[in-house]
Amino acid sequence: MNKKPTLSFKVVDGLLIALAILPILALIVLKILFTPASQGIEISGALIYFTIPMPLQDMPITESQVNSLAVIITVTSLCLYITHGIRAKVETKRQILAEWIVEKVEGMVRGNMGEFFKGFGPFIASILAISAFSSLLTLFGLYAPTSDINIVAGWAILVFALITYYKAICGPVQYVKSFGDPVPLLAPLNIISEIATPVSMAFRHYGNVLSGSVISVLVVTALQGLSNMLFGWLPGFLGDISFLGIGIPAVLSIYFDVFSGCLQAYIFAMLTMLYVAGAFPEEKYALKKQLRAEKKLQTKNN
């Protein structure tokens, strides 16, 4: 039998919900305060809020960095809210949701990476959540961090570090030899392919999200101009209303902001799993582990 939540439980729930919403509201306020007035169509990068002087080169604090931090705070708060109050023998709606997310992510990791990488579930879930929420910021008129190549390139470099780690897990000698598979003459191409992996991941994600934002702005601007041509003759304020801009931008937003953003997050997570699992020499690692165990047993017997 479920117990009624206590006052302290409700207070913590309220604080977590507020902590998830306040960063987005803060971003909207910053956007309003720092965005300069403009006329007509304008497609620009992330705003620069301020610059920190550094010895070699000044470090700008941009809209991408601030929005990424806000997304991390929001996602963390939502995770804490969903898992707050979970008990072994008490089932709640949020507990069912949390278990469903964990089961789906772990099933996806096992299906694409194998049993050895079963602990990768939280990492893949983080990629999915942060990437999707970053792209969905455009629904609030905010700059999506995934539209900044620097942000996505940072994710790709992290994935590249994981690929290199698991590829070299059998030792540096085996890692160098792997570039000569299946034929040593292909080593230059294998090296280029290794370097191209994070580059392709970054540009694929960044390009698809940015292109969606650009197309949406162009279509909305074109609809406004066409609406003024067709209905500008109407008297009073009616001539200033963008009739063609009602409804159509919302449909485009559903595709470019919601569907495409979530799709790119899923693709990035899938590529991460496939590249990391594909770089892992499972048979050679198992053989090395077996030889090490035999050597350890032999030393113990002697």
For the stretch 215-271, pLDDT in tens is 777 777 777 777 777 777 777 666 666 666 666 666 777 777 788 888 889 999 999
The per-residue pLDDT for 54 is: 87
d(CA 273, CA 185): 28
State the pLDDT at residue 19: 92
Q: Which residue, among 280, 264, 71, 10, has the nearest Cα to 170 in the 3D structure?
A: 280
Share of the chain residues as helix, strand and coil, in percent rounded to the nearest 5: 75, 5, 20
pLDDT of residue 2: 55
Q: What is the pLDDT of residue 190?
A: 84
Range of the domain at 251: 7-31+44-289
For tokens 């990791």, the residue is 109
Could you tell me if residue 299 is inside a domain?
no
In a domain? residue 234: yes
Evaluate whether 143 touches 137 at the Cβ level (below 8 Å). yes
Q: Give a yes or no: residue 1 inside a domain.
A: no
Q: What's 85's DSSP letter?
A: T
* pLDDT value, residue 36: 72
Q: Is residue 295 part of a domain?
A: no
Q: How many domains does the chain have?
A: 1
Note whether residue 70 is domain-resident.
Answer: yes
In a domain, 36, yes or no: no
Structure tokens at 109: 């990791």
- Residue 24 in domain: yes
Residues of the chain with pLDDT below 70 are 1-3, 37-44, 90, 236-250, 302
> Is there a domain that residue 89 lies in?
yes
Total-model pTM:
0.84
Residues with Cβ within 8 Å of residue 97, at least 6 apart in sequence: 82
Q: Answer for the pair 271, 201: CB distance below 8 angstroms, yes or no.
A: yes
